[in-house]
Amino acid sequence: MGLSVQEAPVSRGEQKQRTRAKLLHSALSLMAAGKPFGALSLREITAHAGVVPATFYRHFSALDELAFALVEESGMTLRRLLRDVRKTGLPPTSMLLASVKIYRQYVEDHRAHFLFVCSERNGGSPPIRAAVKREEQHFSAELALDLRQMGWMPGLSSGTLQMACYLVVSTMMNAASDILDLPEKNPQLEREFVERFVRQLRLIFLGAKAWRDA
């Protein structure tokens, strides 16, 4: 009829991908409500996605498989962060503060992914935890490569640089966790946490500058 909206034609593949995305998104939503991933049930996730429980098996063989998919999604989010910071081409002097501001915005824009990573990296079941830590190592190594290419502290050995980057990444994760735990709409408290984060990174960078390899 004239008033009916023209529906975009949807291929079977597209439709399947949409349902899969709904399942992933449902798990993240439920976690955002305070449930650890390990406490989510298949039925909860499918109900929230608006499909019948059996549908789950068209996409994943078990809950762990869904978790691995979320690890991958989250890893992509993290790598995009690096790329975004990289392409701003910041001058070294103001790099730290600006990076932290971008990072804070990123954490807020991708709350669900950061929440997932922060909570599973130590709190998940062993295989999930391992997958998250692997992603974290990649991120850390990529950061080290970036800093090296920017000519940052050329005197540091690559082993030391990697160690420092691992420390930076751990600090980033802790900061993300703290920021995510902040009560909403408390800019004062948020500023304090961000300020502490900046100071922690500054301390680390000062340490790196003073470092002398044996």
| Residue 191 token pair | 């500023």
Out of its own copies, DNA, none, what residue 193 binds, judged by CB under 5 to 8 A for its kind, is: none
CB of 5 to its own copies, least distance (A): 41
157 binds, among its own copies, DNA, none (CB under 5 to 8 A by kind): none
What is the nearest approach in angstroms of DNA to the Cβ of residue 38?
Answer: 11
For residue 164, give the nearest of 122, 197, 206 by alpha carbon. 206
Token output for 114: 């950061």
**Which of left, alpha, beta for 89 (phi over 0: left; psi -120 to 50: alpha)?**
left
> Under a CB-based contact definition with an 8 Å cutoff, are residues 184 and 94 in contact?
no
User: What residue 98 binds from DNA, its own copies, none (CB within 5 to 8 A, per partner kind)?
Assistant: none
| CA distances (Å), origin 75, targets 36, 42, 68, 135, 170 | 19, 23, 10, 6, 15
Interface with DNA, residue 212, by CB under 7 A: no
121 part of the interface to its own copies, by CB under 8 A:
yes
155 binding its own copies? (CB under 8 A): no
Please tell me whether residue 64 binds DNA under the rule CB under 7 A: no
User: Given the rule CB under 8 A, which of 21-29, 102-110, 124-132, 182-190 is the region that contacts its own copies?
Assistant: 124-132
Interatomic CA distance for residues 161 and 148, integer angstroms? 8
133 binds, among DNA, its own copies, none (CB under 5 to 8 A by kind): its own copies
Give the whole-angstrom CA distance, residue 13 versus residue 59: 12
Nearest distance from residue 34's CB to DNA, in Å? 15
- Applying CB under 8 A, does 42 fall inside the site for its own copies? no
